[in-house]
Amino acid sequence: MSSSAVPSATGTLYVVATPIGNLDDISARALRTLSEVALIAAEDTRHSLRLLQHFGIATPLAACHEHNERDQGGRFLARLQAGEDVALISDAGTPLISDPGFHLVRAARAAGVRVVPVPGACALVAALSAAGLPSDRFAFEGFLPAKTVGRRARLEQVREDVRTLIYYEAPHRILDCLADMRDVFGSERMAVLGRELTKTFETLRGLPLAELHGWVASDSNQQRGECVILVAGWQAPEGEDAVSGEALRVLDLLLAELPLKRASALAAEITGVRKNLLYQAALDRQKDA
Ligand code: SAM
């Protein structure tokens, strides 16, 4: 392989990022690696064949997807242990990032095989780099559950996380997902939708969640293609009139079972927050619903 590689008896597993849309985003090192390895382990061989043909690379491909990764991992390991170099790629972007590869990488490292990243495109990093939300601390939350109950439960877990939150989402769920985010994080929480990044219809739109939901609802074009949703981290409320997230959580639970007045009175007793503040918060939540 490349001159920088340390000679060893076993081969090297290269984890190679491929483009997320724009083919020009492939790196010179990725092209060289894919040309020089003995075998490319690919999530979808037919999909990757088109990419390789585009770049005139004729390296053999073998399937390594979520259904066969554990069983077939041994096959790739055997090749590596026989001294051959293998590259791992996924359909788009960086392998292992909401894509297969974790089991193979773990098994290779456990077997003492050298694993080398060949970095490149990754949708979450591309979105974060251009979203204008704080990037010093962020949490990648991957895909949310498909159904609203599970999705809301996952959102609740990070409602008061101060880091920028990053989600992958399928286009047919984008509206429901934004509606749940608006309800759990609040209408005013800032969010950015990154859609079709690096492609012709690339969009990066930042708005408070209620407005972002309204904008996507009113334009069916925004409900197509691939998307990343970034949500600004939680900011502690300021001043004595602030209602904490925990008090709102108690209020929401009670509102689901009781009339507004009774729910806010009980929430005030439980949390120690003034009754009129919780009553107003309950009114606001009903208005947003
Ligand atoms: N491994 C990939 C990466 O490094 O980003 C992610 C693979 S995951 C199966 C696919 C999801 O990534 C899509 O559903 C979408 O949420 C996001 N994604 C991939 N390409 C994208 C793009 N060009 N623009 C926006 N989001 C994208």
Q: Residue 274's pLDDT band (boundaries 50, 70, 90)?
A: confident
Ligand 1: distance of its center to the CA of 250 in Å?
35
pLDDT in tens, 24-63: 999 999 999 999 999 999 999 999 999 999 999 999 999 9
Q: Which of 15, 202, 227 to mutate to test the pocket of ligand 1 (most atoms within 8 A of CB)?
A: 227
Q: Which residues contact 54 (CB under 8 A, 6 or more apart)?
A: 23
CB atoms within 10 A of CB 2: 12
pLDDT value at 161 more than 70 = yes
Ligand 1 in contact with 169 (CB < 6 A)?
Answer: yes
pLDDT at residue 238, as a whole number: 67
Q: How far apart are alpha carbons 27 and 120 in whole angstroms?
A: 7
pLDDT at residue 73, as a whole number: 74
pLDDT in tens, 143-157: 999 999 999 999 999
Q: Which of 250, 257, 207 is nearest to 230 (CA)?
A: 207
Q: How far apart are alpha carbons 44 and 140 in whole angstroms?
A: 24
Average pLDDT of span 251-264: 92
Instruction: For residue 21, give the ligand 1 atom closest to its CA.
Output: 23
pLDDT at residue 241, as a whole number: 62
Q: Residue 3's pLDDT band (boundaries 50, 70, 90)?
A: very low
pLDDT at residue 284, as a whole number: 84
Q: Which of 22, 231, 1, 4 is nearest to 120 (CA)?
A: 22
pLDDT at residue 247, as a whole number: 87
pLDDT at residue 141, as a whole number: 98
Ligand 1 in contact with 203 (CB < 6 A)?
Answer: no
Q: How far is CA 242 from CA 182, 216, 239, 247, in A?
A: 19, 30, 6, 10
> Could you give phi then psi for residue 204, rounded to 5 degrees?
-135, 105
pTM for this one? 0.83
pLDDT at residue 66, as a whole number: 79
> Could you give phi then psi for residue 137, rounded to 5 degrees?
-140, 130
Residue reference for tokens 């997320």? 20
Ligand 1: distance of its center to the CA of 226 in Å?
6
pLDDT at residue 245, as a whole number: 79
Instruction: For residue 143, give the ligand 1 atom closest to its CA.
Output: 16
